[in-house]
Structure 1
Amino acid sequence: MQLEPGERATLEGADGQGAAMAMRVVTGLARASGAERLVEIASVHIDGCLYHGQAGVDFAERLVELGARTTVPTTLNVGSLDLLHPGMVRTESETEKDVAAGGRRLATAYEALGARPTWTCAPYQADVRPARGEHIAWAESNAIVFANSVLGARTDRYGDFLDVCAAVTGRAPYAGLHLDENRRGEVVLDCRGLGAGVLELDLAYPLLGYLAGEIAGTANPVFVGLPPGVSEDRLKALGAAAASAGGVALFHVVGTTPEAPTLDAALHDRPPEHTEVVTPERLASARRELSTAEGDRLDAVSVGTPHASLDELRALADELADGPRIHTGVAMYASTGRTVLERARQHGIAEVLQDAGVRLVVDTCTYVTSILDPSTRVVMTNSGKWAHYAPANLGVDVVLASLSECVASARAGRVVLDDGLLR
């Protein structure tokens, strides 16, 4: 692997011991991934903000101790606390207290390094929008797949420790999805038989993502037959589910995403490795697979994973604007980023949601921290990602539903589904 003179100088300590430590990590990963050189990056999104143990805190604090600072714009993923709403995350048990304390130390360390306290898994909803073809080092699975697929920026799959080291050095290994040849579509999902009615449903997109993850694994799927101009929010839901169910870091939607004006362009003028026809029956089966609950019991509803956009909060407010409040036996949560929440307040959307009984969560998410009541057993969500992870993370059963079904169920105090929705 070849290093530029400035990169070699950083590695040898010219920019301080903190930068040298970070460069050792970056170059070590580069060698392991077979990179021939490093690439200069324009921004970083740090995933390792949730407290998972002492090692994460030690690593961040050691960089601070050694004088490291971020050298490119750097945003922070969700953490272990809702810093704007004290008491939202439970801190009653010793374990919960340890997580809260560790989360605060991580937050302090990352801010000391120069990262922006965005605390969102959807930095692309703030003022961070890398340009097409721009090299970045983003971590967090949904942020990675959105940046690659919807924005056309270039990031490989990065995670804890490498993300902050890339922020300090301004470099990442020139490998993986930074390279043209690795961005080729490999598996085609033919959605032309689904029909306009199904493809108008918000529920269709997390289900398509779930199927893409199951079918493609870590390959790059290409969707054919989706309507032109699919919204970013629906592409976000698709990508998040695909990244969770399989490990997809890049997908193409022919006629919509930047690198897929045509099917041939998405496939780099080569035949696909595999083609799968997606039918309404496949989508209905996917919903059943993601819905682990039986009966009509409902304890909570959680939307906003990845973090809800302003348009998604507006859609929820519109659903709740007329009609009864949320049932007293159901807790309804909407997770979002603090910048989006501020806009929602300015537009009067937050007030509508809170008046209806929605609990607004920022800086974290309900499937990774102690927010739900310990007695919660059945939760409804419109997120494929939430439905995929929550049963193991929280020990709850899940019902995957459309936004309309989420609201109807929250009001009724029980699971209310439209069984003919995907026909």
Structure 2
Amino acid sequence: MILTKHEEDMLNGIYGDGLRRAMKIIIGLGKIGNATHLIDVKSAHISGVSYSNIGDEGLEFLEELASLNVKVKVPTTLNPCGIDLIKWRLMGVDDEYYNKQAKIIKAYEALGVKATCTCTPYLYDNIPMRKDHIAWAESSAVIYANTFIKAYTNKESGISALASALTGKTAYYGLHNDRKRKPEIAVKANFKVKGALEFSVLGYFTGRVSGERIPLILEAYPKTIPEKKQFSAGLSASGSVGMALFRRRGNMETVDFDRDMFKDVIDELSVEDDFSILFLGCPHLCLEEIEEIARMVKGRKIVRGKEVWLCTSKSAYIQAFNNGFIKVIEDAGLKVFIDTCLIVSPVKIKHTIGTNAMKTAHYIRSLHNINVKIAEAMALLREVLE
């Protein structure tokens, strides 16, 4: 691999041990990907933020790295952490967990990372431009950035994204190369796909049939932010690719997606049972979705014995608060959390969860062994309103 003088100096520890470690990670991954050189990145987004995921070992690693007095070179944001750092008691989290999670955030801040904990950085806090090379973890954000913004990023791990943030570099391989961004299998929608849930299921189905092959979606295109978010999240939950393409036609192996398949995918993961908690916000709710929820619940109340948890980014929350949406929602009895996600939280849930997202259904079942009921968000919300 050909390195510039500055890159060699970072690798040799001239600028400190923190950058030396980061460069070793980047070059190691580059060798695996047969990269010939490194490139600059415009931004980074780091996963591995929740204490539930990284534990004491991850916290110790971050604190040690921060002690080396190294800072990120490019704008860098974080994925959701395990709790709402303000309303954590409302989540039923104990002091010990809060203290550990707060230390993780503090360590990232010491590294110069912006403590905006969201899985939708592309909406408010870390918006790449078309053709930008970036180093992002969080698989749904990777798919969104590559597919709908036309930026360039591989599916980074939390560690490799952090290494790129510190050095401002990544190896030139994989989805950074236009030749590696070609479709290899097509999925054709045989009905008019519309709405967040239908695109979530289309994404999930596509991930299953495409595997490691970049999919080409025929006869369907998500037009709204919620549709694009849910397609990206669904694809990320079931597949291993980092992007998709959309066209009206393509000449390659094609798999049909019809109404029966749509129903089969939902039926496989969903139960008909009543649910105790409705969780919306995977990926984090955007302002448009919060406004829609506020219109639905205005002047009404949640049925006794039910809970509704909404998760969003800090930036979306502030806008929604300033528009009066948060007050309307909380007056109706719903809980609004920021910086977190139920999937990566320590919250112990024993009963069925309602969701409109295939990613939620996939991970709540596999990680927490909890049943889910899948339906459109507004339909589920109507079930819990008086």
Short-chain TM bin: over 0.9
| Closer/same/farther in 2, CA of residues 202 and 160 from structure 1, 3 Å limit | closer
The equivalent position to 2:302 in structure 1, one of 326, 343, 356, is 326
Name the counterpart of 2:68.
Answer: 66
Aligned residue identity for 2:173 = A
| 8 Å Cα contact 1:88/1:371 also seen in 2 | no
Name the counterpart of 1:415.
Answer: none
The equivalent position to 1:313 in structure 2, one of 274, 290, 310, is 290
Name the counterpart of 1:257.
Answer: none
- Count, aligned residues: 384
1:99-178 paired onto structure 2 within 5 Å: 99-178=97-176
| 8 Å Cα contact 1:368/1:393 also seen in 2 | no
Question: 1:280 aligned to 2:259?
Answer: yes
Question: 1:410 aligned to 2:381?
Answer: no
Name the counterpart of 1:338.
Answer: 314
Q: CA-to-partner distance for each residue in 1:97-130, whole Å, 9 max, x for gaps? A: 3x43332221111000000010111111214211
Aligned residue identity for 1:303 = L
* 1:319 CA displacement: 2.2
TM-score, normalization: structure 1? 0.87
Name the counterpart of 1:268.
Answer: none
Q: Tell me, in whole angstroms, the C-alpha distance in 2 between the residues paired with 1:34 and 1:145.
A: 22
| 8 Å Cα contact 1:298/1:378 also seen in 2 | yes
| 8 Å Cα contact 1:72/1:168 also seen in 2 | yes
Could you say what secondary structure the match of 2:217 adopts? strand
| Runs (4+) off by over 4 Å | none
Q: Tell me, in whole angstroms, the C-alpha distance in 2 between the residues paired with 1:368 and 1:88.
A: 16
Could you say what secondary structure the match of 1:30 adopts? helix
* 1:384 CA displacement: 1.1
Aligned residue identity for 2:196 = D
TM-score, normalization: structure 2? 0.95
The equivalent position to 2:340 in structure 1, one of 364, 371, 377, is 364
Name the counterpart of 1:82.
Answer: 84
Q: Which moved more, 1:60-69 or 1:146-155?
A: 60-69
Could you tell me the percent identity over the aligned residues?
29
Could you say what secondary structure the match of 2:311 adopts? strand
The equivalent position to 1:383 in structure 2, one of 327, 340, 357, is 357
Give unmatched runs, 5+ long, in structure 2: none
Q: Tell me, in whole angstroms, the C-alpha distance in 2 between the residues paired with 1:35 and 1:321.
A: 55
Could you say what secondary structure the match of 2:367 adopts? helix
Q: Tell me, in whole angstroms, the C-alpha distance in 1 between the residues paired with 2:62 and 2:244.
A: 32
1:168-317 paired onto structure 2 within 5 Å: 168-191=166-189, 193-195=190-192, 199-226=193-220, 230-254=223-247, 263=249, 271-272=251-252, 274-291=253-270, 293-295=271-273, 297-317=274-294
Aligned residue identity for 1:314 = E
* 1:207 CA displacement: 0.7
| Closer/same/farther in 2, CA of residues 32 and 100 from structure 1, 3 Å limit | farther
Aligned residue identity for 1:358 = L
Could you say what secondary structure the match of 1:88 adopts? helix
Could you say what secondary structure the match of 1:303 adopts? strand
Could you say what secondary structure the match of 1:118 adopts? strand
| 8 Å Cα contact 2:26/2:160 also seen in 1 | yes
Q: Tell me, in whole angstroms, the C-alpha distance in 1 between the residues paired with 2:120 and 2:351.
A: 28
* 1:263 CA displacement: 4.5
Q: Tell me, in whole angstroms, the C-alpha distance in 1 between the residues paired with 2:240 and 2:206.
A: 10
Q: Which moved more, 1:41-50 or 1:390-399?
A: 390-399
Question: 1:393 aligned to 2:367?
Answer: yes
Q: Which moved more, 1:311-320 or 1:171-180?
A: 311-320
Q: Tell me, in whole angstroms, the C-alpha distance in 1 between the residues paired with 2:265 and 2:246.
A: 20
